Amino acid sequence: MEKFVPFEKLSKKKQKALNDQKRGDWGNVNPATQVLPDKKKYSRKQKHKGSELDD
């Protein structure tokens, strides 16, 4: 049986290994905040690119 060693007294490598075990990954979730464009705001972009008539 291993002796209990407080987290603060562990080596940096062992602390990092323990932290990595505790933390999960995000999976398919993108942690960056996604902002929806405001529908009321005036947009200068062309609505349908390439739909203008070229003579």
The residue length of the chain stands at: 55
Above 60 in pLDDT, residue 55? Answer: no
Helix, strand, coil tally for the chain in percent (to 5): 25, 0, 75
Q: What is the DSSP letter of 7?
A: G
pLDDT band of 50, cuts 50, 70, 90: confident
What is the distance between the alpha carbons of residues 13 and 19, in angstroms, rounded to a whole number?
A: 10
Asked if pLDDT for residue 9 goes beyond 90, the answer is yes
Residue 47 has pLDDT above 80, yes or no: no
